[in-house]
Structure 1
């Protein structure tokens, strides 16, 4: 149904008349914002098809909004600065491509306004699935996805608006704490000198790791020190600062340190690099995260790896059998760094 006047370009008024829609609705469909305003996909498709028949110049963004599969899948995450989030992004891209999909990953710097804006943009581009990683309150993003009919899966931090796949933070923290306690006992040091530094109070992952830390002591009928836990955020500078305060108070490093993240661990490395070798060689250090370079540090380090391969695999399984009413929480076991490295070496040898 081309324009009756070959010399005149079609307008949105022509499209509105042909489809029985308002010009406002036609405008929102053609400029690519119809998902945000909850216009039905059937209506959007009808308008796009009519515009095509009338010869209206539909922009590329609007073309991508047709009901045909886009082949796009998205992930939002805080940043790429540590191995865990970088690993999540890389594994997501790898598994998406293996399924014939095109992955889009966007960092949001933990800014709620940016998280919403990015989610709206990805939905306007017709992503077929969205993974939401490391967002403290993913519910608004889950709600946007639900309104657009797009499955969403929460990773790393859970939410009530969609199924979630997270590391088993509590069991993992108990495991690594128990290893550190055993090392302290073997050295004749008091286990109640073990401290847990880093993380954010009232955040799910931190609270679970604190609970696991306490579980390890309780299982041995022990009690951590009253000041053993200090939530100083996911920040190397803050971890360095609180550790220096403890050093000044004790006149030495605490006998045992468990850092809540790799960024907090960086603060330990920065601080200990200012000390003499004798000051840090006796320290027992653990980290709820993993980096292979830690094996080259001159003090005892135990690291816990979060299994990004399993997290992404479980998330895709949920997506492939998506239930809009599902709010389940899947816990993925963590792996002690040494065991992980041994397993990777075995795989390499088998190849």
Structure 2
């Protein structure tokens, strides 16, 4: 004969308290209800001993809250976004929220479809991270009354928390200039920007920062020194190969916009003599610890993921989603 599953009333009887108190403890709202920590500890221990599982769907219907929080990301197989999802899950669980992370492949239709699906599961909050069409997702969320905000890429209809891309790019470029040596060939005495999408907010801000530093050091920026060829590794590899052929060698400095683009750049650099590669000072806007294994020095910008998501959860905790300001978090410059 199968064993009967324990109920919330069983826990209340064993803990010598009310069912509503047990419910508040299990759904994480006991502190706001001013329930004592000793009682909470006793109930949670009993729930663990009895292997009690909260029916979150039923609980959500009763309380009109599900305890679910969603996050859209472009992809999982990227160190930046995988680290974002891990930090998101930790911060959500600290607040007794249950995280759901879904990749949408930078596809606006998939972003909208996924947002609608998550809303159908009664999520309470949605973090729209790196979305290609954040305002379209905002309209869907607002229509259904879902609290939401943007992370990494900003929108105009919800609060946004992003890296200070212009500052980070300016700092990286200034350091590339400082550490570089002018080559004998004048046509190679240039600093080049490779990767990203011109219409993308982050790329545009990084180009601005790159331009600021170049203009401060040399007085002008030649447009052909910027090739926002896309984020794919193959595109970056082709871009650097074309650059090499046009200049008759590598430029004085190379700014690579993302570690995805860096993969393609490294593939091309492996075809060259190492001493030639060392004549070019290289930097990447984004960080990967495996860069320490490269055979040449690499400067990197490491975005502050705890800072970005910490600020996002401050907004969630405050409940103030009406402001549409863009909050910028400064990254840090590191060397592999």
Deviation at 1:256, TM superposition (A): 1.1
Q: Which among 195, 199, 205 is matched to residue 202 of structure 1?
A: 199
Are 2:279 and 1:291 equivalent residues in the alignment? no
Are 2:230 and 1:233 equivalent residues in the alignment? yes
Matches of 2:207 and 2:261, distance apart in 1: 15
For the aligned residue pairs, the C-alpha RMSD in angstroms reads 2.1
Are 2:181 and 1:181 equivalent residues in the alignment? no
Question: What is the TM-score normalised by the length of structure 2?
Answer: 0.78
Deviation at 1:228, TM superposition (A): 0.8
Deviation at 1:68, TM superposition (A): 3.1
With over 3 angstroms needed to count, the CA separation of the structure-2 counterparts of 1:238 and 1:62, relative to structure 1, is farther
Q: Which among 267, 272, 275 is matched to residue 269 of structure 2?
A: 272
Mapped contact 1:108–1:115 kept (Cα < 8 A): yes
Residue 106 of structure 1 is matched in structure 2 by 102
Residue 220 of structure 1 is matched in structure 2 by 217
Deviation at 1:325, TM superposition (A): 2.4
Further displaced range: 243-252 or 188-197: 188-197
Matches of 1:206 and 1:128, distance apart in 2: 31
What stretches of structure 2 of length at least 5 have no aligned partner?
1-55
Residue 304 of structure 2 is matched in structure 1 by 307
Matches of 1:128 and 1:330, distance apart in 2: 22
Matches of 1:226 and 1:326, distance apart in 2: 36
Residue 75 of structure 2 is matched in structure 1 by 79
Mapped contact 2:158–2:324 kept (Cα < 8 A): yes
Aligned length: 280
Matches of 1:258 and 1:188, distance apart in 2: 20
Are 2:183 and 1:211 equivalent residues in the alignment? no
Q: Which among 253, 257, 265 is matched to residue 256 of structure 1?
A: 253
Residue 122 of structure 2 is matched in structure 1 by 126
Name the SS of the counterpart of 2:117 in structure 1: helix
Residue 143 of structure 1 is matched in structure 2 by 139
Question: What is the TM-score normalised by the length of structure 1?
Answer: 0.75
Instruction: Give deviations 1:214-236, integer Å, cap 9, x for gaps.
Output: 11123335323331100111110
Structure 1 moving runs of 4+ over 6 Å: 60-63, 186-191
Name the SS of the counterpart of 2:118 in structure 1: helix
Residue 322 of structure 1 is matched in structure 2 by 319
Residue 47 of structure 2 is matched in structure 1 by none
Residue 334 of structure 1 is matched in structure 2 by 331
